[in-house]
Amino acid sequence: MIERKARIFNIQKYNMYDGPGIRTLIFFKGCPLRCEWCSNPESQKYHHQILYKDELCTQCRMCVEVCPTDTHYLDPVTFEHKVSDDNCIGCGMCVDACPTNALAMIGEDKSITELLDIIEEDRHFYHTGGGVTLGGGEVLAQPEAAINLLAMCKYSGINTAIETCGYAKREVIEKVAEHTDLFLYDIKHMISDEHYRFTGVHNELILDNLKWLLDNKQNVKIRFPLIKGVNDSEENLRLLVELVSPYKDFKNFKGIDLLPYHKMGVHKYAQLGRKYAFDDYSRFTQEELVKVESYLKERAIPVSIIAH
């Protein structure tokens, strides 16, 4: 029997930001959203991709010669090396051929057993209340693999969490909830049209799934990426308060984490041949962050600022 596999793009050990205790974080590739501020742009597409570091390239053309799918090619005018990863099959021949390490493969297929073995390597750290967190990309974009891995972790006595944008069918949410101890649930914007403007999807499904999780006693911590001029208006914060106020005394509502905007990962846009759309957006001052935090605390909403 062929075992199910998950396509991942990173594994982070000893993580202390994405759930309680020390955790192993598995990043699933592929996401239905296109957040303009995304710090992991290589996570958005499901297929394999090539990160190309132009400053290391010597134009030796070895990658062009070995690539079986024309992912690498020469510009017909400038004769410079170009990358079009839509055809990439993840063979890795170009990465192996590159003499200067100018190329990196993004996306690796691992079986559920292989991932569980990696998670088990860190079991002795989980006495801290830790465990495994599945993130992305969007883990629910690979629901079968996610459910299988979560179920095996639970069977092995490992605490489970997922970081999700919640943009998934209700039946997927319900099945995942059977094997998940904590949902780290992203809310990007409360106004649907603005949510669409900055992420490419409307937010009704996301908010409906959040309410279902809270109503059905699933442990949920909301994560709110705080971006100046995008979602920090008083109207947006008021709508957020209205959303969570009915649940603020629920034991399964674990509060809100404010995640201040940062520019970590910006360099990867250029390596993917993309322009970063948020160059003109500035970071919050500490005073501004405390003001937003105080707005929520004054309305009895449990909240913390999580700055990386």
* CATH for 84: 3.30.70.20
Angle formed by the axes of helices 112-120 and 143-155, nearest 10°: 40
Residue range of the domain that includes 63: 49-106
Place 2 in a pLDDT band, splitting at 50, 70 and 90: low
Share of the chain above pLDDT 70, in %: 99
Q: Which of 106, 121, 138 is where one domain is finished? A: 106
Length of the chain: 308
Distances (CA, A) of 57 to 3, 60, 82, 272: 38, 8, 11, 14
Place 53 in a pLDDT band, splitting at 50, 70 and 90: very high
Calpha distance 291→294 (Å, rounded): 5
87 or 67: whose pLDDT is higher?
Answer: 67
Which residues define the annotated binding site for [4Fe-4S] cluster? 31, 35, 38, 57, 60, 63, 98
Structure tokens at 216: 């059905």
**Based on the domain organization, do 82 and 193 belong to the same domain?**
no
**Based on the domain organization, do 101 and 173 belong to the same domain?**
no
Which residues define the annotated binding site for S-adenosyl-L-methionine? 37-39, 137, 186-188, 262
**Based on the domain organization, do 69 and 37 belong to the same domain?**
no
Calpha distance 155→280 (Å, rounded): 47
Whether 295 shows a pLDDT value over 70: the answer reads yes
- CATH for 213: 3.20.20.70
Distances (CA, A) of 303 to 253, 258, 293, 295: 11, 7, 7, 10
pLDDT of residue 262: 86
Place 282 in a pLDDT band, splitting at 50, 70 and 90: confident
Closest CA to 255 of 286, 297, 285: 297
**Based on the domain organization, do 34 and 60 belong to the same domain?**
no
- Model confidence pLDDT, tens digit, residues 20-32: 999 999 999 999 9
**Based on the domain organization, do 68 and 179 belong to the same domain?**
no
pLDDT of residue 82: 87
- Which uninterrupted H or E stretch holds 145? helix 143-155
Number of domains making up the chain = 2
Beta bridge partners of 222: 185, 256
Structure tokens at 269: 């846009």
**Based on the domain organization, do 125 and 54 belong to the same domain?**
no
Q: How many CB atoms lie within 10 A of CB 251?
A: 8
**Based on the domain organization, do 66 and 176 belong to the same domain?**
no
How large is the average pLDDT for residues 54-77? 91
Q: Over the chain, what is the mean pLDDT?
A: 94
Q: How many CB atoms lie within 10 A of CB 241?
A: 18
Q: Which of 84, 106, 128 is where one domain is finished? A: 106
**Based on the domain organization, do 35 and 66 belong to the same domain?**
no
**Based on the domain organization, do 173 and 95 belong to the same domain?**
no
- Which uninterrupted H or E stretch holds 131? strand 131-136
**Based on the domain organization, do 147 and 81 belong to the same domain?**
no
Which residues define the annotated binding site? 31, 35, 37-39, 57, 60, 63, 98, 137, 186-188, 262
274 or 158: whose pLDDT is higher?
Answer: 158
pLDDT of residue 308: 67
Beta bridge partners of 183: 162, 220
Whether 56 shows a pLDDT value over 70: the answer reads yes
pLDDT of residue 18: 95
Q: Which of 90, 106, 122 is where one domain is finished? A: 106
**Based on the domain organization, do 63 and 182 belong to the same domain?**
no
How large is the average pLDDT for residues 227-245? 96
207 or 277: whose pLDDT is higher?
Answer: 207
**Based on the domain organization, do 195 and 124 belong to the same domain?**
yes
pLDDT of residue 284: 87
Place 10 in a pLDDT band, splitting at 50, 70 and 90: very high
